[in-house]
């Protein structure tokens, strides 16, 4: 602001004796302002690109896709889901709450025994944006301890409760050597959509590298799941757990949360 005032004074002085020079100076000032306005979005974009993001999807040459289920309440459908997935020999990833694992250890063991991944969805479904980094680490570890005590395998993936996160949440989780995972295909089954609507949503949005979100106690998910799997297989997809879909080693994540190989 100070610089602009000084320039304005110089322009007024020049205008009194050299109108042409003043005009040139004014044009230069306007050009400088335009240049600053043009550069500003670039700086904002660069800042935005620096955000810490979880993995929403994965860049894959092959037609690979992952099915994931969040388990935070009820387990009445768990055995049914295991049976449907087993019918097609498909392995999925279940993100479970630590307290859910404590309440339903038989379901957690059944999932693990069937070859499905049992991963971390926090210990108590807290709003992680409101927690400190130390509280996040403590919460995630508490859930992993409960899960590992049942399955013998410590979770390496984490899904934030409510899908909420910010930079400090993602940094805290990755500091533990745990990868935060979101999704790019939402079945919206928790809204009690009909089986037909769930099927349409998933099959219309699924793409190579997608991570699909379901819930283990949603009303119509078991009814829709078999048809969805049949469609994906008929389209040439290989359905794998999330840990097999994501890339290992060096990678980058773009502004949409898509994971790419580094370089």
Report the catalytic residues: 70, 215
End-to-end CA distance of the chain: 42
Question: What is the C-alpha to C-alpha distance for residues 54 and 205, in angstroms, rounded to an integer?
Answer: 20
**CA-based angle 236:240:245, to the nearest 5?**
100
Which stretches of the chain are assigned E, i.e. beta strand? 57-58, 64-71, 93-96, 117-120, 157-158, 179-180, 185-186, 211-215, 238-239, 251-253, 258-261
Cβ pair 114, 90 in contact under 8 A: no
Q: Note the maximum CA span of the chain.
A: 91
Q: Is 185 helix (H, G, I), strand (E, B) or coil?
A: strand
Q: What share of the chain is helix, strand, coil (3-state, %, to 5)?
A: 50, 15, 30
């Amino acid at each position: 602001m100070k610089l602009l005032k000084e320039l304005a004074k110089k322009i007024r002085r020049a205008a009194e004796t050299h109108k042409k020079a003043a005009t040139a100076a004014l044009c230069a000032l306007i050009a400088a302002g335009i240049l600053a306005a043009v550069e500003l979005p670039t700086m904002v974009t660069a800042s935005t690109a620096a955000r810490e993001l979880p993995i929403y999807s994965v860049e894959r040459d092959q037609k690979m896709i992952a099915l994931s289920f969040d388990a935070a309440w009820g387990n009445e459908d768990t055995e049914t889901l295991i049976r449907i997935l087993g019918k097609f020999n498909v392995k999925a990833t279940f993100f479970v709450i630590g307290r859910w694992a404590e309440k339903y250890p038989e379901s957690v063991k059944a999932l693990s025994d069937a070859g499905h991944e049992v991963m971390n969805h926090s210990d108590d479904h807290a709003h992680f944006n409101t927690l400190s980094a130390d509280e996040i680490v403590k919460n995630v570890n508490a859930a992993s301890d409960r899960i590992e005590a049942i399955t013998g395998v410590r979770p390496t993936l984490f899904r934030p409760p409510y899908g909420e996160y910010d930079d400090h949440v993602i940094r805290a989780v990755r500091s533990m050597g745990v990868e935060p995972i979101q999704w790019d295909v939402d079945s919206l089954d928790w809204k009690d959509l009909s089986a037909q609507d769930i099927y349409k949503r998933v099959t219309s949005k699924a793409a190579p590298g997608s991570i699909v979100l379901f819930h283990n106690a949603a009303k119509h998910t078991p009814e829709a799941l078999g048809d969805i799997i049949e469609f994906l297989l008929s389209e040439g997809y290989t359905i794998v757990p999330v840990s097999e879909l994501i890339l290992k080693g060096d990678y980058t994540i773009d502004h949409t949360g898509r994971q790419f190989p580094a370089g």
